[in-house]
Chains A and B, each alone.
Chain A
Amino acid sequence: MTDVALPPHRSRTRDVLGVLSKNRLAIVGLVVLLLLGVVALFGEWLAPHSPTRTNIPNRLEPPSLTHPFGTDELGRDILSRVLVAARVSLQVGFIAVGLSLAVGVTIGLVAGYYGRFVDTALMRFMDMVFAFPAILLAIAILAVLGPGIRNAMIAIGIVYTPIFARVTRGSVLSVREEDYVRASRSVGASGPRIIVRHVLPNVMGPIIVQTSLSLAFAILSEAALSFLGLGVQPPDPAWGRMLAEARGFVRVAWWMGVFPGLAIVVTVMAFNLLGDGLRDALDPRQKSVIESRGHLL
C-alpha cells in the first residue's frame, strides 16, 4: 500500500479566473458591468436632477455643464434619466433571462438525459417556439398579455427559453455518456439525483456563457419593446422608450437619442465581451501545454 505526498491544492475556479484575468477585453466588460450595477442600485442618488420632473422653459437644451447630456422635449435631464433607466434595463434583463434559464435548462436536462420520446416531444416544442422571429414572438405574447414591464419580462423570458434548452441538451448528450454518470448508475443512483449532482454541474460552462450573451439580447429586446410602447410605461424612463421619444427630434436635438443609444450599446457590448471571455476561460483546451502532462511528455 502506498501513497505519496499530495500535490499542491489547486481549484478549478481559480484556474478559470486566472485565464479570464489575462483577457483584457473581458476584464473591460466586467468592469463596465460592475459600474452599471452600481448605477442600477444607486441611480436615484447619482442622478443630478429628478428623472421625471418636467421643466418646460428648459426644454431641448443641448449638453451643458448643468445638463451634461442635455434635456428632452419636456425639459427633463437626460443624464438622470439614462442613469435611472439602467435599473429597469438590467432588472428586465436579469429577470427575463432568469426565467428562460430556469425553464430552458430544466427542459434541456430532462430532454437530454432521458432521450427518446421525452427528448423528441420537448425539443420539437422548443423548435416551434424558436421558429418565430424573436421580436415578433415577443410582440405577439405582449398583444395577448397586455403591455407593461412585468409582461415584457415574461415575453422575453419565453422567447429566449429554447436557446437555453438547446445549449443545455447538447452538453447533456455528451456528459450523459461519461463514465462517471455510468458509475453513479452502477451504485444505484436515481435519474433525478444524477441530473442534479453530476450532469448539471458539468454542463454549467456553456450555460454561463449563454446567460451572459442572452442578457445582452434581453436588454436589446426590452429596449425594442419599450421603443414600441409595449414595455416600460411613461413617465418611468427606459432606454428604449427614450429612443422612441427622441425619434421626432433627431434633427433638432441629437442628444436625446444618442445618449440612451450609447447606454444600450455599452451594456450589450460589455455582456458580449464578458461572455466571450468566459467561453474561452471555461474551454479546457485553453489549459497550458505543460498541464496536459503525459499527453505531450
Chain B
Amino acid sequence: MTAGGGEPLLAVEDLQVWFPIKGNGVLRRTAGHVRAVDGVSFTIARGETLGLVGESGCGKTTTGLAILRLLEPTGGRVRFDGDDVTGMGRRRLRALRRRMAMVFQDPYSSLDPRLSVGAIVSEPLDVHRLHTGRAARKARVGELLELVGLRPELRDRYPHELSGGQRQRVGVARALAVEPDLIVCDEPIAALDVSIQAQVLNLLDDLQDELDLTYLFIAHDLAAVQHVSDRIAVMYLGRVVEVADRARLAAEPAHPYTRALLSAVPIPDPPRERARRRIILEGDLPSPADPPSGCNFRTRCPEVFEPCPRVDPALQEVGRGTGGVPHEVACHLHGVTGTPAEAGRAYS
C-alpha cells in the first residue's frame, strides 16, 4: 500500500521540461522558456498508486509524458527500477516500453480511427513480437478485451462504433498488452460521462489487484484522485507543492493551494456544501514563461508574507501520516527553507 522500504519502482528527481519560445526575427532565436515542469521530484513504490493532481497548465501531463520519454526532459532524472530512463538510447528505450504504458485522456483521439479494435490492441504485440502467429495473437487480444470487460467480438469493430467508456476500455487493454509494471493514467476519466467514470475507476482498481500494477494517476479532479490513490502529490505551476497520503492530505492539507483546491471541490450534499467556508483564490494562474520569483503561488496566496518573494521554498517534512508516510510541503508557513530567489533564477 504505502511507500515503505526497498527501492521505489519509479523515482523522479528534479525533473525539468522547458519549452523554448522562439522569437519572431529571421534567426528565430530562443527568446525565453515556458517552464512547464520546473524541478519535480517524487517516488512511486511497487504496487502503489500515486495521484498527481493540479489544474490545467500546472505541468502534470507534461510530467507524465516526460517520464515515458514521449517528451524529452531538459533536466533532472527519471529512474525506473534502478535504471536511468533519461539517458537511455533507442534500443533500451524500446525495451522499457514493455514495462511502462500509458492510458490517455481522450478516448476519442487516442485510438486511430482507421484501425479496428483488434489492430489497436495488438499493436504493442506486433512491435515487441509477442504472441506471434495468427491464432495466438487472436487469443491474446480476446483475453485482453475480456480483461477490461469487453466482449472479444468487439475486435472487428472500429472506434467510431464504440461509446466513450468502451473506447477507454480499449485504451486500457492496449496499455495492458505488454504486461507493464507501471501505467501512467493521464486524466483517464475526464472525457467520460458521470455514470461511466465510476465504471472505469473500478476497472483500474480491479486490474491493479489482479495484475499487481503500479499507477501514476494524473487528474485535475481531486475527488477522483483521492479515491484511487495511496499517496497524492499536488502540482502548481510546474512544481510539486505538497505530498502526503490520501487521508492526511484530505484531513490536514498544509499548503494554502491544497486547502483552496480542497475547499473548491464540490460535495454532493447541500447542507454540508452550504456550511463550508470556501477559499476563493484571486486571479488566474501566472504564465509559466514568467513565473513569480520565490514561491510560485505567492501571487494568489491568501497567506503570503515577507519571505515568499525572496526564497524559493523547498519540500520539507511536516509530519507523518498512515503507515509513517512522510507529509511534505513546500511552503514558508512551516518554516522558511529553500534557495534564495536570486540564486534560483540565476540560470534563466
Interface residues of A (CB under 8 A from B): 1-4, 6-7, 9-12, 178-180, 182-190, 193, 197-198, 201-202, 294
> Does B111 belong to the interface (CB within 8 Å)?
yes
Q: How far is the CB of B202 from chain A (nearest CB, A)?
A: 9
Could you say which residues of chain B place their CB within 8 Å of the CB of A185? 70
Q: Are A187 and B123 in contact, with the CB atoms below 8 A? A: yes
> Does B325 belong to the interface (CB within 8 Å)?
no
Q: How far is the CB of B19 from chain A (nearest CB, A)?
A: 14
Can you list 23 residue pairs at the A/B interface with Cβ under 8 Å? A1-B203, A1-B206, A3-B151, A7-B161, A7-B162, A9-B157, A10-B161, A12-B158, A180-B110, A180-B111, A182-B70, A183-B171, A183-B174, A187-B124, A187-B174, A187-B177, A187-B178, A188-B93, A188-B94, A189-B127, A193-B127, A198-B114, A202-B114
* Interface-side segment among B10-18, B98-106, B244-252, B269-277: B98-106
Q: How far is the CB of B112 from chain A (nearest CB, A)?
A: 4
Q: Are B112 and A180 in contact, with the CB atoms below 8 A? A: yes
Q: How many residues of B contact A (CB 8 A)?
A: 43
A-B pairs under 8 A by CB, number: 88
Which residue, A178, A180, A185, A202, has most C-beta atoms of chain B within 10 A?
A180
Q: How far is the CB of B146 from chain A (nearest CB, A)?
A: 9
* 10 tightest A-B CB contacts, nearest first: A188-B97, A1-B149, A179-B110, A187-B124, A201-B114, A180-B112, A179-B109, A186-B102, A188-B94, A179-B104
Could you say which residues of chain A place their CB within 8 Å of the CB of B101? 186-187
Q: Are A183 and B102 in contact, with the CB atoms below 8 A? A: yes
Q: Which residue of A lies closest to B184 (CB)?
A: A186
Q: Are A182 and B104 in contact, with the CB atoms below 8 A? A: yes
Q: Are A198 and B112 in contact, with the CB atoms below 8 A? A: yes
> Does B52 belong to the interface (CB within 8 Å)?
no
If A179-B110, A188-B124, A193-B127 touch, does A9 touch B203 (CB 8 Å cutoff)? Answer: no
Interface contacts beyond A7-B163, A188-B128: sample of 18 additional A-B pairs, CB < 8 Å, sorted by A: A1-B206, A7-B162, A10-B160, A10-B161, A11-B158, A179-B105, A180-B113, A183-B110, A183-B111, A185-B70, A187-B123, A187-B178, A188-B94, A197-B112, A198-B114, A201-B114, A202-B112, A202-B114
Q: Which residue of B lies closest to A186 (CB)?
A: B102
> Does B199 belong to the interface (CB within 8 Å)?
yes
Could you say which residues of chain A place their CB within 8 Å of the CB of B98? 188
Q: Which residue of B lies closest to A180 (CB)?
A: B112
> Does B153 belong to the interface (CB within 8 Å)?
yes
Could you say which residues of chain B place their CB within 8 Å of the CB of A2? 149, 199
Which residue, A2, A4, A183, has most C-beta atoms of chain B within 10 A?
A183
Could you say which residues of chain B place their CB within 8 Å of the CB of A7? 161-163
Could you say which residues of chain B place their CB within 8 Å of the CB of A4? 163
Q: Are B154 and A6 in contact, with the CB atoms below 8 A? A: yes
User: How many Å lie between the Cα of A6 and that of B145 in the bound state?
Assistant: 14
Could you say which residues of chain A place their CB within 8 Å of the CB of B141? none
Would you give the 0/1 interface string for B138-168, flagging 1 where the beta carbon is closer than 8 Å to chain A? Answer: 0000000000011101100110111110100
Of the candidates B94, B149, B160, B164, which one forms a contact with A12 in the assembled complex, judged by CB atoms under 8 Å apart?
B160
> Does B237 belong to the interface (CB within 8 Å)?
no
User: How many Å lie between the Cα of A198 and that of B111 in the bound state?
Assistant: 10
Would you give the 0/1 interface string for B196-226, flagging 1 where the beta carbon is closer than 8 Å to chain A? Answer: 0001000100100000000000000000000
User: How many Å lie between the Cα of A219 and that of B124 in the bound state?
Assistant: 45
> Does B68 belong to the interface (CB within 8 Å)?
yes
Within 8 A of A (CB), among B64-103: 65, 68, 70, 93-94, 97-98, 101-102
Q: How far is the CB of B165 from chain A (nearest CB, A)?
A: 9
